[in-house]
Amino acid sequence: MIAALLSSFVRLFTGVQARWFGSAPDDDARRVYFANHTSNFDFLVLWSVLPDHLRKRTRPVAASDYWRAGRLRRFLAESVFRGVLIERKKVTTLS
């Protein structure tokens, strides 16, 4: 329910609309949707234009340091968006 309210608010606030040219959402196809800049709001805008049944299956990938800073952000990222949070700072390489 929180997810539906957020997506409705984002569409109302931004006026964003999806235009599917030759790649309409398909339940059987795997897709990657991405924004062309680096705002933490980007994924929410992209996510909000997906049909409800696909939004439930779509998981954003986002920066851990931003989305785990504070109880509200953590709740949204983990419980509402079910995001995959990526560490940007303490990254190590495998030898």
Helix (H, G, I), strand (E, B) or coil at 32: coil
74 has a pLDDT exceeding 90: yes
Q: How far apart are CA 79 and CA 81, in angstroms?
A: 6
Q: Which two tokens stand for residue 80?
A: 């509402």
The whole model's pTM is what?
A: 0.72
Asked if residues 27 and 53 have their Cβ atoms less than 8 Å apart, the reply is yes
From the list 85, 2, 75, the residue with the least C-alpha distance to 43 is 85
For the chain, give every domain's residue range: 2-14+32-86
The residues with which 62 forms a beta bridge, in sequence order, are 85
- The pLDDT tens digits of the residues spanning 35-67 come to 776 777 888 888 888 888 888 888 888 889 989
